[in-house]
Amino acid sequence: MENDKALFRKLKISTLLDLALIVPSSYSDTTLSSSLDLGVVGTFEAVVDEVSSNSGKLRVNFTLPKFKRKLSSIFFRVTPYHYQLFAKDSRHYIQGKLEEYNGYLQMAQPKSIKDIGKVVPKYKSVLKMSELTPLFSRYVTEKNLFDEGLDSAEVATLMRIHFPRDMSEIYSGSKFKDEIVQKLKFIEAFNHLKKLRAKRADFPALEALNGDIAPFIDRLPFELTAEQQSVIEQIQIDLNREDKAAKRMVVGDVGSGKTMVILSAAMMSLPRKSILMAPTSLLALQLYEEACKYLPDSVKIALVIQGKKEGDHLEADFIIGTHALLYMDNLPEAPLVMVDEQHRFGTKQRQSLEALVSRGEKKPHFIQFSATPIPRTQAMMESELLDVSLITTTPFQREVLTQTIGRTEFSDLLSHIEDEIEQNHQVLIIYPLVEESTEIPYQSLTESRDFWEKKFDGVYVTHGKDKQKEEVLLEFREKGNILLATTVVEVGISLPRLTLIVIVGAERLGLASLHQLRGRVGRNGLKSWCYLFSNTADNVRLEQFSQTTNGFDIAKLDLKFRDSGDILDGTIQSGQKFKWLDMGEDERIVARAKSRLESVKLES
């Protein structure tokens, strides 16, 4: 048993189904062939007719008694053993690829086989076969698989895969049959969901919260979208519980109106306090301004960012800040904690905020907001670990025209940029690098700034490592025409006059990043443009991106073009890869696995 545990560690697996899902990479099938199929590996009974050697090669002519045909074989690497083995008139079972040449059957280097009528699985593994196969015999049993919650067809599939009797039951050609693959997808999804559920830990809440949101909602200058409303209702249910602290992730595209959800939740926590953490001072400031604008005057709001404080955070109902919050020694207790743009924080930072305001076993309600859309399948999976709400629509239709361009269109681009600036709009140009590099066939920020500064007024420059980044952005927001930057502007600062973005070397970026960048323009409904500048013409990925505007569709598209990996890091296991499951396509399988898990849970 102890020994088995060590083997499981070597295999990097933790559940029985992990083991069962290690499937053979191929099979050796020694069933005698019933027909002479050319081009495929066959197994035949054969009697040696004659043996001859020629310049180091050995030729053996056999008769195949069952088919009354002759077959000739050549062995290239010959040892005395071969002469001994293939003595005239000796009988063999030979295996190899059958071919025909000028009407003569041939088989190059056949293997002589002792046991026939056996199908033996071959695994690619860090373990030796003598270590691995006993594990399957011991653990992959019908009883164990039923106990895991699989149904009889799924159990039978796994048993056939590991203990095959007849290849035709599992393979078609040299691949698993489709019905087998479908079962493997389901089992893979089910296993993953079970593991996530086992990890979920719930704690009692500090307090049940049910503050009235009407004084805020009624004053809003617009109507909330149906999705905003339903997320808010869901959070009302979450926060109203005392036995279980909320743990929810609200995922919505840039501009989907998550701030209104944040402000509603802050209302619910009244008369108790709530805390909101944002990844940058600029964002915290923006949220603070919006909170002051939309929340009733009676709500006391405080801002805590490095080097700046607004309002008294000890008195405040709603404290907004950056990670500077984590270093305050007198942060008041708050039964609701929120994190905006959570994907920009490390797991540690998010957890320490939560821990800072926990009291013993009791935890604050914890709601995170993310602007990185994930495919619905992934949200379904991850909701085993924490509740997930999706906001898939935006309050107003943004009009952003996306287009791939190259060098030849550069002068057109310049005149378009001039037009926009003339209309008091702003332009953002994203470069792949700060300094020049021989590895990237595009100009860097440093190389090109001269060009723009000579040609235009109000050119601002910043990048990820720039210490003055936030000041530059703030000044640009007020006075600038063109901002040259690296992907730094991903941080959700709102630049309402921004109507044109150029992404240089767009083909080098992931679709999620491109989508984030494109989300910078047209925030207030101004007609806008996103130019994907690329040296490589006809990039299918960029073309499809140009046609797709919804972030959730982009996430699906992204899965099509790269291996599915988790987009949410931190709370969610990162780098999760599925061998069989396709997160873009297999929504129904994941849904079935989820409902199976529900029914298994009810039984136990």
Residues that bind Mg ion in the complex, under the rule CB under 5 A: 258
252 vs 375 by CB, closer to ligand ADP: 252
Annotate each residue in 402-421 with x if it binds ligand ADP (CB under 6 A) or - if it does not, as one string: --------------------
Candidates 185, 247, 258, 313; binder of ligand ADP (CB under 6 A) is 258
**Which residue type is seen at 214?**
A
Asked if residue 211 binds ligand ADP (CB under 6 A), the reply is: no
Q: Which stretch binds ligand ADP (CB under 6 A): 57-65, 175-183, 222-230, 592-600?
A: 222-230
> Using the 8-state DSSP alphabet, how is residue 323 labeled?
G
Size of the site for ligand ADP (CB under 6 A): 16
Q: Which stretch binds ligand ADP (CB under 6 A): 238-246, 249-257, 331-339, 549-557?
A: 249-257
For residue 371, the minimal CB distance to Mg ion (Å) is 6
CA distances from 110 to 116, 173, 318 (A): 15, 21, 79
Beta strand segments in 79-133, E: 91-97, 99-101, 104-108, 111-112, 119-122
* Structural tokens at position 295: 């929340």
Q: Which stretch binds ligand ADP (CB under 6 A): 11-19, 223-231, 328-336, 540-548?
A: 223-231
Q: Which stretch binds ligand ADP (CB under 6 A): 221-229, 419-427, 508-516, 595-603?
A: 221-229
30 vs 229 by CB, closer to ligand ADP: 229
Residue showing tokens 């399988």:
589
98 vs 275 by CB, closer to ligand ADP: 275
For residue 253, the minimal CB distance to ligand ADP (Å) is 7
Given a contact cutoff of 8 angstroms between Cβ atoms, the answer to whether 597 and 193 are in contact is: yes
Question: Read out DSSP for 465-483?
Answer: T-TTHHHHHHHHHHH-SEE
Given a contact cutoff of 8 angstroms between Cβ atoms, the answer to whether 299 and 266 are in contact is: yes
| CA atoms of 403 and 409, how far apart (whole Å) | 11
DSSP alpha helices (H): ranges in 151-221?
Answer: 152-162, 167-170, 178-199, 214-217
| CA atoms of 101 and 105, how far apart (whole Å) | 6
151 vs 223 by CB, closer to ligand ADP: 223
Asked if residue 222 binds ligand ADP (CB under 6 A), the reply is: yes
The phi, psi pair for 348, rounded to 5°, reads -60, -45
Asked if residue 256 binds ligand ADP (CB under 6 A), the reply is: yes
Candidates 121, 149, 164, 257; binder of ligand ADP (CB under 6 A) is 257
For residue 283, the minimal CB distance to ligand ADP (Å) is 9
For residue 464, the minimal CB distance to ligand ADP (Å) is 21
192 vs 258 by CB, closer to Mg ion: 258
Q: At what angle do helices 258-268 and 226-239 cross, to 10 degrees?
A: 30
- Which residues ranging from 344 to 383 are in contact with ligand ADP (CB under 6 A)? 371
255 vs 584 by CB, closer to Mg ion: 255
For residue 284, the minimal CB distance to ligand ADP (Å) is 13
Given a contact cutoff of 8 angstroms between Cβ atoms, the answer to whether 377 and 507 are in contact is: no
For residue 243, the minimal CB distance to Mg ion (Å) is 31
251 vs 459 by CB, closer to Mg ion: 251
| CA atoms of 383 and 261, how far apart (whole Å) | 19
Given a contact cutoff of 8 angstroms between Cβ atoms, the answer to whether 51 and 85 are in contact is: no
The phi, psi pair for 445, rounded to 5°, reads -55, -50
Asked if residue 255 binds ligand ADP (CB under 6 A), the reply is: yes
Asked if residue 395 binds ligand ADP (CB under 6 A), the reply is: yes
CA distances from 171 to 25, 64, 119, 377 (A): 12, 27, 12, 28
Q: Which stretch binds ligand ADP (CB under 6 A): 34-42, 248-256, 267-275, 464-472?
A: 248-256
72 touches, from ligand ADP, Mg ion, none (C-beta below 5 to 8 Å by class): none
Closest CA to 380 of 215, 581, 519: 581
Q: Please classify residue 261 by burial: count the beta carbons closer than 10 Å to its beta carbon, then call 0-12 exposed, 13-18 middle and 19+ buried.
A: buried
448 touches, from ligand ADP, Mg ion, none (C-beta below 5 to 8 Å by class): none
**Which residue type is seen at 421?**
I
Binding site for ligand ADP (CB under 6 A): 222-225, 228, 252, 254-260, 371, 395-396
